[in-house]
Amino acid sequence: MSTKIKPQPTQPSKTSKKSPQRKVVQKVQKPNGKIGLAYAVPHCVRHYLEASINPFDTPEGACLPADLFPLPSYKRVIFTRGTMATGTTGFGFVCVYPIFSNDGVSISFSTSTSVGIATGLFSTYTNISTGSFTNGPYTGAQFTASTLSARTVAVGVRLRCTASMMNRGGSYVTYEQINHGSTQTAYSYNTLKSVQGAQTHGIPNLDDPDQWDVAVCSSGPCLPSELQFAQSATPLAALDYLVIGISSASPAMTFDFEVFHHVEYNGTITSKTPSHSSPVGFSSAVQAMKEETVTVGPVSPRAGKSILDRFAEVIQGEMPHIIEMGVGLGKMLAGNEGSGIMNVLEGGYSIIADSINPKAITGPKLTTLQQSILAPERPLVRMDRY
């Protein structure tokens, strides 16, 4: 009888090869030959992180992997491109409104005839211009008819100076409003520079005409309403919370801009695709991005490595709880349902408690065997796609 039972432990590994997305913690061989554990980042979390760090070059299809019961949705990337300039006094700005329609104001920016000063609110600048997500699939009227709803997955704006080498110079200030409130009505160039989380960059020399100078992206939801599908093309969370302020070396310096917005649409739509959920991975991703914005500056492609390193550290801290939940699921599959449920609940409650009241983990520390190797820059990576 024992000979019949022995082969059974190999069955889960066969199943995991067909469906690796179900296997969260995997065994890997380290460069030193020892066997360790790696957290396999679910595809939905990997795609969400990529879209958040670099919404400009990440393919559409990302979702918010935060739901307990993820709903299928229509996933699109809507965008706007154009040119802008600093005004007659050498100051300018660009503010982004992450709306969902193709006919509303998605961006406000200064022009060569704008008049504003270093201490004046961006909203007081004259002769500003606006843009829209003209490639968006729906109008504001379609939202008004209550047949549609939507939510933001990721959004960002990037900028590059197109002035001649002789006239280049000055500074950018990038910022994401921490509570996703309005920036145009709250900040001047001077006050923006002094806000925690803002970052100042010099306008560089033109080394590569295709290189973008700066970018600022959303660090993820900060309001409960941002996790929900809104039945409005311009919900409360669609205030202009991304901004780049500019102080140029000479008046009327010109710039290119691009805004990319990853959106999930829902409602009476036929072209939906499946969505996925990974509460631990999603919360860890958002935590890593929020830490970056508070300690260094806004999320951007330039900050990608730092954010991924932070994400790895957060996951490593949760590994004991994730492993405990995995053990519980294994017991349940083996028929020991009562003990398995207790393991799952213990691991889940520990994760919830840590997120509500962050403290150092007081339980047993991970052994070398249990070290999670995660960040893409490290030798062993399990950023699973499927």
Q: CA–CA separation, 16 vs 11, rounded Å?
A: 9
Q: CA–CA separation, 66 vs 21, rounded Å?
A: 16
Lowest mean pLDDT among 62-71, 111-120, 174-183, 361-370: 361-370
- Token pair, residue 112, equals 């060569």
Residue range 58-73: average pLDDT? 92
How confident is the model at residue 325, as a pLDDT? 42
The predicted-structure confidence for 173-229, as pLDDT tens digits, reads as follows 999 999 999 999 999 999 999 999 999 999 998 778 789 999 999 999 998 899 999
How confident is the model at residue 3, as a pLDDT? 41
How confident is the model at residue 30, as a pLDDT? 55
pTM metric for this prediction? 0.79
Contact status, residue 290 vs residue 358, Cβ threshold 8 Å = no
Q: Examine the pLDDT at 377 and tell me if it is beyond 70.
A: no
Q: How confident is the model at residue 259 (pLDDT cuts 50, 70, 90)?
A: very high
Task: For residue 246, give Cα distances in angstroms to 188, 190, 320.
Answer: 10, 10, 46
How confident is the model at residue 210, as a pLDDT? 86
The predicted-structure confidence for 22-64, as pLDDT tens digits, reads as follows 455 565 555 566 555 567 788 999 999 999 999 999 999 999 9
Contact status, residue 62 vs residue 48, Cβ threshold 8 Å = yes
Higher local confidence (pLDDT), 326 or 145: 145
How confident is the model at residue 300, as a pLDDT? 97
How confident is the model at residue 256, as a pLDDT? 97
**Nearest CA-CA partner of 307 in 221, 218, 245:** 218
Task: Give me the percent of the chain exceeding a pLDDT of 70.
Answer: 72
How confident is the model at residue 317, as a pLDDT? 75
Q: What angle do CA 26, 32, 38 make, to 5 degrees?
A: 15
How confident is the model at residue 373, as a pLDDT? 33
What is Dmax (Cα atoms) for the chain?
A: 88
Q: CA–CA separation, 129 vs 87, rounded Å?
A: 12
Cβ-Cβ contacts under 8 Å for 238 (sequence gap 6 or more):
97, 98, 99, 100, 152
Domains defined for the chain, CATH in brackets: 1-70+276-386 (no CATH), 73-273 (2.60.120.20)
Lowest mean pLDDT among 71-85, 90-104, 304-318: 304-318
